[in-house]
Structures are given as C-alpha cells and as structure tokens.
Chains A and B, each alone.
Chain A
Amino acid sequence: MNAAAFRDVAGMALRNLGRHRVKTVITTAAVAISAALYIFMDGWILGMNLESRRNIAAYEMGAAKIQTKAYFDKKDELPMYENFPGWETLARDLAKAGFDSAPRFTFTGTLYSRAGTAPLVFNAVDPESERRLLRYVPYVESGRFPRDGALELAVGSLAAEKLRVGIPDRPTRSEYEAEILGAAATEEDRAFVRSLYGPPRTSKEPRKPFSVPDKAAPAFEEEKLALKEGVSGEERERLWRILAASGRMDVRISTVIDVKAAPDSIRKNKFEQELLPSLDAGAQALVRSAYEPDPATGDYYLASADDALTSRVLETMVAADYPGAIRHINQLIDAVVVGVVNSPNPKTNGSVGYIPLSALQDEAGLMLGGAVTEILIRKAGADDAEIPGSAESPAAIRAALDRVLAADGRTFPDNLDVRGWKDYSADYLAASAGDEVSTRVMILFLFVLSFIGISNTMLMAILERTKETGMLRALGMTDGQVLLAYTLEAGLIGAIGSAIGILLGCLINIPMVAYGIDYSAAAREMGGDFGYRIVALFRSAWNPPVIAATGVVATVLSAVAAIPPTLRALRMPVTESLRFE
C-alpha cells in the first residue's frame, strides 16, 4: 500500500470517529477508566512496597547484619546463646571500611507492669550507635530514649497501651481518676493534669438510627477521656514525670538466659540412645574423648580438663540440637520505662522493647560480658530515601571489611557471616510479592473486562456497517485496506482513551504521591499493622515505564479488538454485504 492510499485510509478512520460519536465516546471512556485505574493501582502498590522496603532498612535493620552462621540458621527462634564477643573491634573495622554499625543483643521475655503483662522482644542496644544508624529513635512520642548504662526501657506504643505505661491518649474515666489524676501528688499537679484531658472529639461518622445493634459490643462502654490536642513537649514531659513518680513506669523484665554449657554428667541411656545417635562418627569420637563412663552407675561424666576440647564438644552438641547443652537461667530485671516509640514502621511500635546493652553486662542483667547477637550495618551517610543497593550488599560489605582486615593481617571470623536485609525480610518480601501478584491479577481482570466491552462495541459497530463495508469493497477498496481502516479506527479510540486515562491516572497520582491517604484510624482498629511496614500514611509512587506501557498496550489492544469482527465481515461476499439489512 502506498503512502497516498494509507493517508486516505487513515483519514477515513479518523472521520469515522466523528461519524459514530456515541460509540467513540463510550469506548474511549472505557479505555480511559481502565488505563487510569491501572496507573493509580500500580502507583499505589509500588509506593507501599518502596516505602515498606525503605522503612525496613531505615527503621529495623539497616542494609545488612553480621551474625553467627548458627544464629542465622535458627533466627526465627531468636537463639540468644548463639552470640559473639568483640563487636567494638568489628565496629571500628566497619567504620574504616566506610560503614556505620550498631550492636544488638536480642532476647525475648515477659514485661510486667503495675497494670498488666505482655510478651516482648527486647533489643539491647548501644543508644548512640542506634541513633546514628536507625531512624526510629527520634520517634519517641513520649519521654525519651534510654540512656547508656541505665536499666531504662523504651517500648513500642502498642505494648505501652497494653501494659498501661507511658501517657495514655484515651484513658477510661476510671483509669484517668485512679492512675492519671491519682498520680498527681499536689493540688497544682492535679489542676495541671485536669487541664490536659477533656472529653474526646465527637466522631464524624453519621448516626445510623435503623442499624442493627452489634451483639458483640459491650452493653455498657465506659466513658473515655482524651488528651487534648496541642499539648506541648514540656507539658508532656511534666505529665510523664508526675506519672513516673507514681510508679506507673516501673516494670520488671522476666526472661530466661540461655547459655551453652557442657553438662557435667549425662545419664547412660541419654548419652548412648539420644546424644550419640544424633552425631556422625567423627563427632561421636570427639564426644567420647571428653566424657567417660562411671564404672558404678554407667552414667557419663565430663572428664576432660582441656577447655579447648570441651568447647569443641559443646559446639558439637549444640549443632546436633542436644537439649542438655543449653542451660536456662531464670532472670528478673527491674527497669523503668522512659519512653514510648511510635515510628512510621509498625514493627518498632509493637511488642518490642529497647534497653541499653551496657546495662545488661553483669549478673543484674544478662551476664553478656560484651557479647552481642548481631551488628547492624549501613553505609556511612546513606540516604534514608534510598533502598540499599549494590554498594551495601553483603558481598560489598564483606569485600570492604576483608580489605581493612587484610591490611592489619587479620581475617574475618569463620563463625560469622554478613547477610543482607532481604535475607531477613524474606517472609515479608514473599508475602508482598504474593499480594502484588493477586492485586495485579485483579486489575488485569478489570482491564480484560473493559477490552471485552471494547471488542463488543467494535463488533456491533462493524456489523452495523456491513452494507457500508460491501460498498467500499465494491468501489475497489481491498480487504486489507478495509481491515486497516477499522483497525486504525479502533487504535485511535485506544490512543485517545489511553491518553485521557494516563492524564487522569497522573492527576490522581499527584496528590497520592505528595500526600497519600491517612489510614491511621483504620490502622488503630487493626492493631497498627497492615502487613506493610507503614503505619498510617499510604503514598503512591511514580512508575514511568508502566505509565508509558499502559498507553501502548491500551492502544494496541483496542486496535487488535477490531480485527476479529472485521475479518468476519470481510468473509461475506460483496453482493451479500450490499443486501445486508
């Protein structure tokens, strides 16, 4: 087909858009809505995922961690006995290699307050390093972050609410009377407390006069008060001091210190029927070299005085998951809550506590003796808005660290490993990938439905024009030219629709990227955790390749939708087409 013929055919297709205005408008609207919806949803999903990934690195763990290899294998159990000493040296080496680091000792326990109990994951941290590396530290909404060396605790806002520590935002009348107002020792303090609380704001939700009563709702809900808006930092601080003086912030951490210890004696049947069968031949020989049977009882006793051998035997037992090699020491630590964390990452605000590492070194703490379970790592001066890239990959960190160590004639410890944030967030990443796939499939279905609509519209339009088609063919237009005319017509509808859709999608995306949607009220109802690492503000992101591809795909699909009905019309003989009514 020459250029002049193509111009004629294209011109005819363009004129047809105006001739069949209703069809054009309906089909264009369908394409536009589909494209806009896809761009909006894609931007939203991408925004939530990017924000979640940024928040994992910025608030939870940095770009990577150093842990013992054994710890990583059992990381879901938080095996505190798989710890390692000498974090200060490694931190200095990491600094020379251009990385910031923060040591942690993670353990589980139960926190007892005056009003309740809650199981918590505790992160023993170096406050200064933690502040430098992670971004949740400034988000202490009440009180302050614990100070080095003190048995002080910052807890997540959800844990604080459950344990009734910290400053309550919405206390019940009885809690207010007994624990908030009751905490004020002087009349001046009481007046101050009264000035901070008032009736809660009325709900904007309209009343539903004919709604069915919720059977699950309590028959009587106690009146609640609310902390007034605009309470200043100094006022919060003063209220915190008043409440702390009443003992509201005093807590006890009940935990079990798990330590590796070679058993002094092992019963005969346990040794022979349980321990030995779990070991390979080499390990069996090693264990037998350290333990000897007692001639009288047959039980096995630790006979080796060689500390190195005992240590190897112990590691062998732990590797074989022999329960007798782990001892559990009961510990109860008195501490005081000094702050409540409420950061943009829900993981930092849940059942979690932060306590200074230096306060747990001796028998009043966890007998750590300088040991930690992990060192968090981030590139010095890394941009929080960036998701850790190749410069912060485990391989890059390890290579940089190896260079620093090699310069001093040292090597990286064999029992340690560097793992990236993705290794620790595999569950989240898999769940979010699953979510993303299902959401995209859903949107794709909408897309497909709208194009079935377009196909149907084109089918009807081409059927209506069967006589016209026959006339065009009788006047000398080839089947190819007719097919091209209708395909171009449909493609033009797709192009106009997708252009409008892209414009619409981008217009919706602008406020979604800049401001997002605040789901804080819904998040509170769901316990503060949506599954994403975002607390309340869900923001979209720009995805230019998808926006461009949406336009191209919508145009091509619209054009393709015209081909089957046109081919069907072209199969009809010209004479019959001319007689078609």
Chain B
Amino acid sequence: MKRMIVSALAAFILAASARAQDPSAAELLARVDSNEVYSSISYKGRMTIEYQGKRYVKTFEAFARGGSDSYVEFLNPEDKGTKYLKTEGRLYVYSPDSEEVMLISGHLLKESMMGSDLSYEDTIDNEKLSARYVPTLAGKETLEGREAWVLDLAARKKTESYPRQKLWVDVVTGDLLRFELYALSGSKLKEYVLLKAQAIGGRRFPVEFEMRDLLRKGSRTVFLMSDVVLDARVPDSVFSLRNLER
C-alpha cells in the first residue's frame, strides 16, 4: 500500500520535471522509485470493502518510517485494538481477542488483509521497482480523459512476487493513475486505480484510490486518507513489538 502511496507522490516530481521530449522507460521508473522521498508519514485511513454484496468500513491510524517500518492500528468498533507492525521485513499482527502477537509468514502473506483486496504481502513490499524490473515504454493511453505513459515491467528474476506489472503514469501531473499486477502465467491478479490526489506540503499525494483483487468476484476496496502528515518525527517506540502488545 505504501508503495502505491509513495509512487503517486513521486508523480508530482515527475510532473515538475516534465520535458518536451518523451522520457525513457528507465527514467520514468527511476522517477517512480524516487518518490520515496519522505522520511516518515502519519495519517488517518478509511478502508471501504465491498465484497459479496456487503459493505464493510474500517478506520485506522497509520505511521510509517523510511521503507522498512510501519504501524497500523484499527479504530472501528468491530476491529478495535487490532494492530499491524512491519519491521525488519517481518509482519506481525496483534489480535485483541486472543491477546497474542502472531508473525505472518509464508503462505499467510498471500491472504487478504482484514478482508480487503490487499494481501499482507502487498503491504510489506517496498523494494525499488527499478532494481527488480526491466521497464518498457508501451506507449500512451488515455484514462478517464487523462493522457498517461504506459510502462510494462518484466521481472529481472523469476523469483519476483509479481513477475509482471503494468503502470500508467499521468503525462501532465505525473500521478500514478493505475497499475496492474500479473501472475507468472500472465494472468492479471490485481488492479489499482487512483481516485483522487491532492497537494500536501508542496507535493501531490494520492489520498483516495481503489484496489481490486480480480479473483474475488465483485470485490473492491477503496482507501481514503486524511490528516496526512509527512516528514514529522515518529518515535522509535511506535515501531516496537512492545507497542503492539500494549
């Protein structure tokens, strides 16, 4: 999720440095990567999950630092007290019902996080795209009336979680308008669509977007972020296992 957010943020920088000539695929991808410019972020989030004709709303508070640490605490009555901590590449969850901290690893990482269209693995993926994928500029397309560069990414190694990705980057604003994640067989697994980006602290930031797990029929999850604060100091204690159990 964070990569999606920061990718959209980087789009602002892309737009600022827009040039007359077409950028190369590598340049576009490097700029998408360079979006990870904030040292920390905190925000209040709202996740609306629509699945099997039902609608679930979950609210949470989130903190992240650099590319390696993040902490999410759910606030809605049904999930109140459920906390997630990602640190040192490991993802832990605290459930108030069992009062236990559980490490999410292996095949569990593929499971849906809190019933949303995101998997746990999607939330901990934070390596640079340019280091993992070979980009190809596949042309220009118009999405909802906005012109976008289309980037086709092929994994450098066969061990990549999503062996292929496809990105749409707004030509004018640099917003990451959409991306798609593919399985090894070439089947499309997930879709991301930007719904709203706004200027925060002099940057363009995606504050509302939709994620769809295409294997879950009729399912979509809309993320809405508010009270976004960038580059403010977050205490170390937030990203500790002790905080998870508190």
| A residues adjacent to B (C-beta < 8 A) | 77, 108, 110, 112, 117, 252, 254, 256-259, 261, 267, 269-270, 273-274, 323-324, 326-334, 363-364, 367
The verdict on A327 contacting B215 (CB below 8 Å), with A256-B107, A332-B183, A332-B187 known, is no
Query: Would you call B184 and A331 a contact (CB within 8 A)?
Result: yes
Query: Would you call B90 and A323 a contact (CB within 8 A)?
Result: yes
> Which residue in chain B gives the minimum CB-CB distance to A265?
B131
Query: Would you call B110 and A328 a contact (CB within 8 A)?
Result: yes
Query: Would you call B184 and A324 a contact (CB within 8 A)?
Result: no
Shortest CB–CB separation between residue A91 and chain B, in angstroms? 27
Query: Would you call A261 and B159 a contact (CB within 8 A)?
Result: yes
Query: Would you call A332 and B215 a contact (CB within 8 A)?
Result: yes
Interface positions, chain B 26-42, Cβ under 8 Å from A, are none
The verdict on A254 contacting B185 (CB below 8 Å), with A329-B160, A329-B161 known, is no
Query: Would you call A367 and B185 a contact (CB within 8 A)?
Result: no
CA distance A110 to B215 in the complex (A): 10
Residues of B within 8 A of A333 (CB): 185
Contact with A along B159-193 (1 / 0, CB 8 A): 11111000000000000000001011101010000
CA distance A323 to B106 in the complex (A): 8
Contact with A along B127-171 (1 / 0, CB 8 A): 000000000000000000000000000000111111100000000
Shortest CB–CB separation between residue B160 and chain A, in angstroms? 7
CA distance A41 to B184 in the complex (A): 55
Decide yes or no whether B105 CB sits under 8 A from chain A: yes
CA distance A367 to B157 in the complex (A): 13
Of the candidates A324, A329, A364, A367, the one whose C-beta lies within 8 Å of that of B89 is: A324
CA distance A364 to B163 in the complex (A): 12
Residues of A within 8 A of B185 (CB): 331-334, 363-364
Q: Which 9 residue pairs spanning A and B have beta carbons closest together? A: A327-B159, A332-B183, A332-B187, A261-B159, A331-B184, A330-B183, A256-B110, A331-B183, A364-B185
Of the candidates B106, B121, B157, B184, the one whose C-beta lies within 8 Å of that of A261 is: B157
CA distance A273 to B90 in the complex (A): 13
Residues of B within 8 A of A254 (CB): 215
Shortest CB–CB separation between residue B11 and chain A, in angstroms? 25
Q: How many residues of B contact A (CB 8 A)?
A: 24
Residues of B within 8 A of A331 (CB): 183-185
Residues of A within 8 A of B107 (CB): 108, 256, 258, 328
Residues of A within 8 A of B187 (CB): 252, 332, 334
| B residues adjacent to A (C-beta < 8 A) | 68, 88-90, 105-107, 109-110, 121, 157-163, 181, 183-185, 187, 189, 215
Of the candidates B88, B159, B184, the one whose C-beta lies within 8 Å of that of A269 is: B88
CA distance A334 to B184 in the complex (A): 12
Residues of A within 8 A of B163 (CB): 329-330
CA distance A259 to B183 in the complex (A): 15
Shortest CB–CB separation between residue A148 and chain B, in angstroms? 20
Shortest CB–CB separation between residue B148 and chain A, in angstroms? 25
Query: Would you call B184 and A363 a contact (CB within 8 A)?
Result: yes
Of the candidates B88, B90, B105, B162, the one whose C-beta lies within 8 Å of that of A330 is: B162
Interface centre among A117, A254, A256, A331 (most CB of B within 10 A): A256
Query: Would you call B121 and A257 a contact (CB within 8 A)?
Result: no
Query: Would you call B121 and A328 a contact (CB within 8 A)?
Result: yes
16 new A-B contacts at CB < 8 Å, known A270-B89, A328-B110: A108-B107, A257-B184, A261-B157, A267-B68, A267-B88, A274-B88, A323-B90, A323-B105, A327-B161, A328-B161, A329-B161, A330-B183, A332-B183, A334-B187, A364-B185, A367-B158
Residues of A within 8 A of B181 (CB): 330
Residues of B within 8 A of A259 (CB): 158-159
Shortest CB–CB separation between residue A61 and chain B, in angstroms? 22
CA distance A108 to B110 in the complex (A): 12
Query: Would you call B89 and A323 a contact (CB within 8 A)?
Result: yes
Shortest CB–CB separation between residue B188 and chain A, in angstroms? 9
> Which residue in chain B gives the minimum CB-CB distance to A108?
B107
Shortest CB–CB separation between residue A291 and chain B, in angstroms? 16
Shortest CB–CB separation between residue B69 and chain A, in angstroms? 11
Residues of A within 8 A of B109 (CB): 256, 328
Of the candidates B68, B90, B106, B161, the one whose C-beta lies within 8 Å of that of A77 is: B106
Query: Would you call A258 and B184 a contact (CB within 8 A)?
Result: no
CA distance A333 to B187 in the complex (A): 8
Residues of A within 8 A of B121 (CB): 328
CA distance A108 to B184 in the complex (A): 16
Shortest CB–CB separation between residue A347 and chain B, in angstroms? 21
CA distance A132 to B121 in the complex (A): 41
> Which residue in chain A gives the minimum CB-CB distance to B155?
A329
Residues of A within 8 A of B68 (CB): 267
CA distance A176 to B112 in the complex (A): 33
Residues of B within 8 A of A274 (CB): 88
Query: Would you call A330 and B89 a contact (CB within 8 A)?
Result: no
CA distance A257 to B163 in the complex (A): 12
> Which residue in chain B gives the minimum CB-CB distance to A259?
B159
The verdict on A112 contacting B215 (CB below 8 Å), with A329-B159, A329-B161, A331-B184 known, is yes
CA distance A117 to B215 in the complex (A): 9
> Which residue in chain A gives the minimum CB-CB distance to B132?
A264
Of the candidates A326, A330, A364, the one whose C-beta lies within 8 Å of that of B189 is: A330
Query: Would you call A329 and B106 a contact (CB within 8 A)?
Result: no
Residues of B within 8 A of A326 (CB): 106
Can you name 30 A-B residue pairings with CB atoms under 8 Å? A77-B106, A112-B215, A252-B187, A256-B107, A256-B110, A258-B106, A259-B159, A261-B157, A261-B159, A323-B90, A323-B105, A327-B159, A327-B161, A328-B106, A328-B109, A329-B159, A329-B163, A329-B184, A330-B110, A330-B181, A330-B189, A331-B183, A331-B184, A331-B185, A332-B183, A332-B185, A332-B187, A334-B187, A367-B158, A367-B184
CA distance A323 to B121 in the complex (A): 13
> Which residue in chain A gives the minimum CB-CB distance to B127?
A265
Shortest CB–CB separation between residue B105 and chain A, in angstroms? 6
> Which residue in chain A gives the minimum CB-CB distance to B213?
A254
Shortest CB–CB separation between residue B77 and chain A, in angstroms? 27
Shortest CB–CB separation between residue A355 and chain B, in angstroms? 14
> Which residue in chain A gives the minimum CB-CB distance to B119?
A330
Residues of B within 8 A of A324 (CB): 89
CA distance A334 to B183 in the complex (A): 12
> Which residue in chain B gives the minimum CB-CB distance to A321?
B105
Of the candidates B88, B106, B161, the one whose C-beta lies within 8 Å of that of A270 is: B88
Shortest CB–CB separation between residue B25 and chain A, in angstroms? 21
Shortest CB–CB separation between residue B155 and chain A, in angstroms? 9
> Which residue in chain A gives the minimum CB-CB distance to B105?
A323
Residues of A within 8 A of B90 (CB): 323
Residues of B within 8 A of A329 (CB): 158-161, 163, 184
